[in-house]
Structure 1
Amino acid sequence: MNNQLNLPLAGKVALVTGASSGIGQGTARALAQSGAIIVIAARRIEKLAVFEKELVAQGSTVLSIELDVTLPANCEEAINSVIEKFGRLDILVNSAGLMLLGPVQDGNLKEWAEQINTNLLGLMYMTRFALPHLIETRGAVVQISSTASRAANLNGGIYSGTKWGVNGFSEGLRKEVSSKGVKVIVIEPGVAQTELRQHITDEAAKKSIDTAAAKMRQLQPADIAETIVFAVTRPDHVLISELLIRPLDQDF
């Protein structure tokens, strides 16, 4: 059972956004297997319901929350629900994200706003409302960034802009809260086999990234999830502040 006292995250409460699929779902699963009480949050509540049944069947304690991270009030309500239910929050994983690649010239402004509001502002909102509780537990916030935070690629200007913003925000946050015992961990995955690319509407950009991905052994959500569990289970004095993980075959 996942509540055994010898599991590394037994008694800890972890909230994962974007938990209906991909990296978020893989991370929630791995944290649960490590003993954490899991709060899974996403817009697609029907997918969360299916995932919750899986986790409960494996012995985990789970709370599902319908969450749109672009809405500050929704973010605050989600954090409040966790505290009301479990009395604490130890780990926040900001995994909700969009990658809508396309050129800047004649770019889709609606998609620009969706990426900024989800990838950057949504992550900021969740961090803002979780922070008092993470300070209380001397917990950790895990920000899912990207290799695109280090190098911008063709058709990736807006997406990279959001991920560079994640890294800058997180470094400023680290300097603010490390002295209070809170770990700020930035994970930068490369090409991963998730549904992220499926939502790209620019046909040329989608074809380009799909062609590149097909030539490599892509990361699986579990690969990234295992890395996150490792990072949040280091001793109190050890901070893995930034970690890049990508396929061996990826050259960008």
Structure 2
Amino acid sequence: MRAELTGTTALVTGASSGIGRATAHQLARLGATVALLARRTEALEQVCREIRSAGGEAFAVCADLADAAGSEQALTQLIDEAGRLDMLINCVGTAHLSTFADDAPSRWQSMIDTNLSGTLNISHAALSHLADAAASSDRGTADLVTVGSTAGRQGGPGTSVYAATKQAVAAWSEGLRREIAPSGVRVGLIQPGLVDTPLARSLGGRPGQGLNAEAVADAVAYVVTRPAGVAVAELVVRAAGR
């Protein structure tokens, strides 16, 4: 087992399945204590058991990130249990396919609440703790990494609002990177193409189509294991041949 992240604590949102789950496993293999955050307690506990059975350390934090107060409470719980936060990996996300004319505000609002507001709420709650870790840790840095989507680079039929949320996250990530670079907190964005996840399959994706979640988790691991003087601002990952 490589141990580049031993002694660190990572918070992974959307950790109950898909990219979040794969990322939690990957960071635990690298030695981090991983806090798993999502709304489904049972699913989180299952991922915790998987990580622990493989020799890693993990604990669950249940919260709805669309609620700013819930995000603050999640960070309080994490600091009470782990004492520090070295990495925040934003993997939370949701999607549905519909043309804009046939959609309804209640449906697209759920994507805005989760993909954009949820990411902003937990990131805002985490910033001071990440800055503390950057100033005091042997790594000399801390990381805030968000998993976006190449859909945010260009909307397509049936994905207009989803693409808008991902484009907003990309713009926010770059703006934040410039704002807090002097603090020692690195801000990175992973832009994957189509990924084979339970969410993608629920939208009609075929098993084995596109990247697997582990490939995106590997990209996250690459970003957070760079030397302190190296920051990866954006990384686009696509399946070969697409």
When the two structures are superposed, what TM-score results if normalisation uses the length of structure 2?
Answer: 0.93
Match of 1:159, SS state, is helix
Structure 1 counterpart of 2:25:
29
Structure 2 counterpart of 1:218:
210
* Unmatched segments (≥5 aa) in structure 2: 135-141
| Alpha-carbon distance in 1 for matches of 2:111, 2:10 | 24
Structure 1 counterpart of 2:241:
249
Counterpart AA for 1:241: A
| Alpha-carbon distance in 2 for matches of 1:242, 1:103 | 29
| Alpha-carbon distance in 2 for matches of 1:199, 1:118 | 17
| Alpha-carbon distance in 1 for matches of 2:241, 2:68 | 39
Does 2:35 match 1:39? yes
Q: Which sits farther off after the overlay, 177-186 or 106-115? A: 106-115
Q: Is the 8 A contact 1:218 1:247 kept in 2?
A: yes
Match of 1:47, SS state, is helix
How well do the aligned residues superpose, as a CA RMSD in angstroms?
1.4
Report the count of equivalent residues.
Answer: 235
Structure 2 counterpart of 1:136:
132
Match of 1:70, SS state, is coil
Q: CA deviation at 1:217?
A: 4.5
| Alpha-carbon distance in 2 for matches of 1:126, 1:72 | 7
Q: Is the 8 A contact 2:13 2:90 kept in 1?
A: yes
Counterpart AA for 1:23: I
Q: Is the 8 A contact 2:36 2:44 kept in 1?
A: yes
Q: CA deviation at 1:68?
A: 1.1
Structure 1 counterpart of 2:190:
187
| Alpha-carbon distance in 2 for matches of 1:12, 1:22 | 23
Does 2:111 match 1:119? no
| Alpha-carbon distance in 2 for matches of 1:135, 1:21 | 28
| Alpha-carbon distance in 2 for matches of 1:48, 1:96 | 13
Q: CA deviation at 1:198?
A: 4.3
Question: Can you list the C-alpha shifts for 1:86-140, whole angstroms capped at 9, x where unaligned?
Answer: 1110000111101112111131211110000000010000100000001111211
Question: Can you list the C-alpha shifts for 1:149-172, whole angstroms capped at 9, x where unaligned?
Answer: 111111111001000100111111
Does 2:151 match 1:159? no
* Dislocated runs of 4+, deviation >2 Å: 197-200
Q: Is the 8 A contact 2:196 2:209 kept in 1?
A: no
> 2:92 aligned to 93, 96, 109, which one?
96
Counterpart AA for 1:182: V
Match of 1:101, SS state, is coil
| Alpha-carbon distance in 2 for matches of 1:217, 1:169 | 29
When the two structures are superposed, what TM-score results if normalisation uses the length of structure 1?
Answer: 0.90
Match of 1:105, SS state, is helix
Q: Is the 8 A contact 1:99 1:199 kept in 2?
A: no
Question: Can you list the C-alpha shifts for 1:32-84, whole angstroms capped at 9, x where unaligned?
Answer: 00000000011111111111111111222211011211111111111111111
Q: CA deviation at 1:199?
A: 4.5
| Alpha-carbon distance in 2 for matches of 1:58, 1:33 | 8
Structure 2 counterpart of 1:74:
70
| Alpha-carbon distance in 2 for matches of 1:166, 1:66 | 23
